Structure 1
Amino acid sequence: MLKRISTIMLLGVLLTTGITMVPASAAKDFQFAEVTVDELQAGYAAKKYTAEQVVQDYLDRIDTYESNYNAFTAMNPDALALARDYDRRLAAGEKQGPLAGIPIVIKEAVDMAGFPSTMGWKPLDPSSGGIKLIPEKDAPVVARLKAAGAIIIGRTNIPAFSSDGTRASTSWAGDTYNAVDRSLVPGASSSGTATSVSGNFAVLGIAEETGGSIQNPAAAQALVGIKPTFGLVPNVGVVPLGGSTRDVVGAHGRTVHDAALMLDAIAGYTPEDPKTVASIGNMPVDGYTSKMNDFELKGKRIGLYGPGWRNQPLTKETQALYERAVKELEAQGATVVADPFAGSGFAAFVKAAGSVGIESVVYDMDQYLKRLGPSAAIHSVNELIAKTGQTPDVLARYPDALKNPSAFPDLTNFTKVRKEYLRIMNAVMDRNDLDALIFPQMFKETPKLANKTENIGATTVSEINIAGVPLVTVPAGYYASGSPFELAIIGKMWSEADILGMAYDYEQATHYRKTPTLVKAAS
């Protein structure tokens, strides 16, 4: 198996879009396709299979398909040992964590002790002669998932510095391919996580967003994605774009319930990340699955997409799919309010304010590098530039900040803009007595990967990222072409349990997600 893992890592670097393919069923030969957390753990309890058998099956599946999807940057050579340890503890009757025995993946941008942090950037890829940058400790979210008993299968591909919301083309490892359809962009920057979860390479995955990087790949690959309130989940130990302002760590899952279980495991205060002090008193006592039932939409008032939010019309087919979804929401008992932002000035303000919050990137990167520890090869932005001989584009945009990377940036404008975002959004929701906003996540189909200039047409980026409010994506059908269509459910800050409950109700009423049929490279 270790030999096969090494082969996977090498094949990920060698992929090209012109690879010859042969079809193979995503479900026929793999007994755990679309399995949920509860189903898997019930099987363990009933002794239908062991965690070692489960993990081996996932690794075999990855070995079959990874060369054609390039979801991973590294595999975890300890995965089988961790599975055997879980089996031992289960047999001994030891208490297990809430995600015990569940195979998961971690986005490359999130630190794992002992694994290179490449940031998706070739100068930091040791396999091609780059600097090996090894963090000494796990990011808090990784530590929490390990404590919950999850079995980490591997680390997943991202574009360089996570600075693309559509594709992973700038990664040293090359493109990741969409599990639903290889010809479509995978969504980014959590590309590899989405492909892994949608393609049944893992049950759950850690994603992260600054401007669409959780929701875009989730929507492109028929997944549930949770973009949490800023400050709910610690983001230290994660390669930053807006660590002080916008970056959030969240979940990708195939079901709403599973994704919520991952949020339960990673959310909450830690002294390692003082921003998370805001989460105290703002988390549901009974967890993020507490409002999941088949009548959660009944009596809810839902705001719909319109030019008051963004003056971007939907394509004809998107409009038809959205209208069907609205009828489904109404059938579940919801009352809809057309374009509640009309007359609020929101769309005009968003356009005038522009994209803010990334101006902290130099400082945030400096802090991130310091956290890697004394034994790491690089400890500061200045060292990063000196040792690689390059200034990454994401940093070069802020030449003044580069003069003193350790100086905290002036965020006066950002805080002013966020305050106005929240004022308008809260006022609109209060005036219309809205429980949530539900929009199509994209105003058009997912673009083709071959079209290198067309980006995903998200309707909520960067509005929710600047505002810091939560969003959940849920599958809502497919275009005639087979491209997924998804809804984005948006709530006020700290309303994750509420919008997850609504997402669950809609999911259970419709069951739109289909198991992707993967294809493997011809031998």
Structure 2
Amino acid sequence: MRIQGSALFKRRRLSLITALLLAITLLLPYIPASTAAAAQAFAYEEITLEELQDGYADGKFTTVQVVQAYLDRIQLYEPNYNAFTTMNANVLKEAAEIDRARAAGEELGPLAGIPIVIKEAVDMAGYPSTMGWAPLSPEKGGIRLIPEKDAPVVARLKAAGAVIIGRTNIPAFSSSGTRATTSWDGDTYNAVDRRFVPGGSSSGTAMSVSGNFAVLGIAEETGGSIQNPAAAQNIVGIKPTFGLVPNAGVVPLGGSTRDVIGTHARTVHDAAAMLDVIAGYTHEDPKTVASIGNMPANGYTSKLNTQALQGKRIGLYGKGWRDQDLTPETQQLYDRAIQELVAQGATVITDPFADTDFAATVKSADGGIGSVYYDMQDYLERLGPSAAINNVQELIEMTGEVPSVFTRYDGNLPDPNSEPDLSAFIASRTDILKIFNDVMDKYDLDALVYPQMFKETPLLSSEDNIGATTVSEINLAGVPLVTVPAGYYKSGSPFELAFTGKMWSEADLLGMAYDYEQATAYRKAPVLLEKE
């Protein structure tokens, strides 16, 4: 059962003490004494959406008090973690307006007063869209590119009453699934341990949520950018079915084929609650018409219960999925997780993709990002006539550079008003989905549950990339995935499971992930360090 109210706060106080003791005994050997500043107590550490809503309703605190506490915490630790590119200058005014509306008895949205962060790649009206790229960064002397209107997901979050703390750091063009090093704003650091890569490209969002700079965050994925940072920083991530959440107003890589907007949270419930707000059809993104009839009638929290794994049939990782061995320690952690799934009543099926061509089909597939030039044209046109740049030709001419995401065209840049040839990608997705769905049906599987990485999170000082097991497969197929904390390596690096299934199965996956989360409770709040 879920632990709520005062009992949960008591448990969290004990968890904080435990975390501090662990930091002394485990982390300090890896941290130079000069940087090991003591962590400051934070009144809202690991607070959940429901606990915040209950506190507001009971008058225990106001939105202004909560937001100010987060701002104070950010001021203390942000210099050592670099999660943000821009802060919302109006955040306290917006918080005060929610308090006024609450006091007046006005109807409030489902996220009223909840502090959130938005990935830099997602448009906010009046705030620079830098794409993580120095030529578009006013701080670096670049062009100031200001969108006239919010992306649909931002508009929905504002309408739901969410309080946006700021915009979070990304690598240039969101083109790394491992780190934010190429960002004009430099590296973001992992909240769990600064030695490890933060995951990308939603690096700053994951750090903000894991490090208790916000309660919820918007992330976005083309190839691992939701799931990689979630797994690297010990939080829950939802990579939704392609077409469930609008991605208009988002800097594209595979806008027509692969890009999805999803959620980062510290709990499965909170991630699901945020998905309820941002999912569904909008005329601003015609792809979302596919979501009609494919969303749960009672929302994405409707199947969250501690019996969700009972009787479920779960497919396990194997070489039929990808010809990649797990490291010995990863295998040990995965074996333990399998036992935990079985203990919750699940039946497991070993390597259901064995004797299929799935791995080879994925390896030879078209990547689906050949439309990036065309998608960028659409994105720039949407910024509005007052924006400094309105098309790809102006982008190249005014910055004096050809963006790295266009190098795939080998200098032969297409007419952005023509139609991209996506026939190879369509054929690849068709083939991958056929094998995927056939295997799910053959073994009557409810989900696949894999280790999200085949090895532990690399060190930031290394040149290694995150070893995800699910990135190409999931994104090429367009199917959903949920990450959930499942333990730690001996080094302190998080270990996470990835729950995935057929298109539109988010609610079922969230139910199973919730059951596992509640049974194991592996996440521990990271102990942040001040910069000296």
With structure 1 as the length reference, what TM-score do the two structures score?
A: 0.95
**1:235 paired residue number:** 247
Q: Out of 273, 276, 289, which is 2:288 matched to?
A: 276
Contact 1:362 1:401 (8 Å CA) reproduced: no
Q: Out of 352, 368, 377, which is 1:366 matched to?
A: 377
Q: Out of 473, 497, 507, which is 2:507 matched to?
A: 497
Distance 2:477 2:411 in 1: 26
Partner SS, residue 38 of structure 1:
helix
Q: Out of 435, 440, 446, which is 1:435 matched to?
A: 446
Q: Out of 126, 132, 139, which is 2:138 matched to?
A: 126
**1:416 paired residue number:** 427
Partner SS, residue 466 of structure 1:
helix
Q: Out of 167, 180, 184, which is 2:179 matched to?
A: 167
Write out aligned runs for 1:142-157 (5 A). 142-157=154-169
Distance 1:23 1:432 in 2: 53
Q: Out of 495, 506, 517, which is 2:527 matched to?
A: 517
Q: Does structure 1 residue 48 correspond to structure 2 residue 70? A: no
- Which amino acid in structure 2 is aligned with residue 265 of structure 1? V
CA offsets, 1:383-417, max 9 Å, x none? 00000000011112224762312222100000000
Identity %: 72
Write out aligned runs for 1:70-469 (5 A). 70-353=82-365, 355-399=366-410, 402-451=413-462, 453-469=463-479
**1:21 paired residue number:** 35
CA offsets, 1:88-124, max 9 Å, x none? 0000011110000000000000000000000000000
Contact 1:168 1:191 (8 Å CA) reproduced: yes
**2:45 paired residue number:** 33
- Which amino acid in structure 2 is aligned with residue 482 of structure 1? G
- Which amino acid in structure 1 is aligned with residue 381 of structure 2? K
- Which amino acid in structure 1 is aligned with residue 176 of structure 2? D
Partner SS, residue 402 of structure 1:
coil
Contact 1:401 1:409 (8 Å CA) reproduced: no
- Which amino acid in structure 2 is aligned with residue 117 of structure 1? S
Distance 2:428 2:314 in 1: 25
Contact 1:329 1:506 (8 Å CA) reproduced: yes
**1:12 paired residue number:** none
Following TM superposition, where does structure 1 have runs of at least 4 consecutive aligned residues deviating by more than 3 angstroms? 17-20
Distance 1:307 1:22 in 2: 42
Shift of 1:259: 0.4
CA RMSD across the alignment: 1.2
Structure 2 stretches of 5 or more lacking a match? 1-30
Contact 2:458 2:464 (8 Å CA) reproduced: yes
- Which amino acid in structure 2 is aligned with residue 316 of structure 1? P
Q: 1:400 to 1:494 in 2, by over 3 A?
A: farther
Shift of 1:519: 0.3
Contact 1:19 1:521 (8 Å CA) reproduced: no
Distance 2:37 2:520 in 1: 28
CA offsets, 1:214-255, max 9 Å, x none? 000000000000000000000010000000000000000000
Shift of 1:127: 1.1
- Which amino acid in structure 2 is aligned with residue 282 of structure 1? N
Partner SS, residue 471 of structure 2:
coil
Contact 1:363 1:401 (8 Å CA) reproduced: no
Distance 2:41 2:32 in 1: 26
Shift of 1:352: 2.2
Shift of 1:21: 1.8
Distance 1:67 1:90 in 2: 34
- Which amino acid in structure 2 is aligned with residue 511 of structure 1? A
Contact 2:294 2:504 (8 Å CA) reproduced: yes
Distance 1:212 1:439 in 2: 15
Shift of 1:331: 0.2
Partner SS, residue 52 of structure 1:
helix
Shift of 1:18: 10
Partner SS, residue 123 of structure 1:
helix
CA offsets, 1:465-503, max 9 Å, x none? 010000000000000110000000001000000000000
Partner SS, residue 428 of structure 2:
helix
Q: Out of 462, 470, 474, which is 2:484 matched to?
A: 474
Contact 1:20 1:521 (8 Å CA) reproduced: no
**2:11 paired residue number:** none
Distance 1:64 1:344 in 2: 53
Contact 1:309 1:342 (8 Å CA) reproduced: yes
- Which amino acid in structure 1 is aligned with residue 260 of structure 2? V
Partner SS, residue 207 of structure 1:
strand
CA offsets, 1:4-62, max 9 Å, x none? xxxxxxxxxxxxx999523333xx52110000000001001111111000000000000
Distance 1:174 1:54 in 2: 29
Partner SS, residue 464 of structure 1:
helix
Distance 1:496 1:84 in 2: 35
Distance 1:468 1:77 in 2: 36
- Which amino acid in structure 1 is aligned with residue 405 of structure 2? V
Distance 1:449 1:479 in 2: 16
- Which amino acid in structure 2 is aligned with residue 476 of structure 1? A
Distance 1:419 1:400 in 2: 30
Contact 1:293 1:505 (8 Å CA) reproduced: yes
Distance 1:332 1:461 in 2: 27
Contact 2:373 2:414 (8 Å CA) reproduced: no
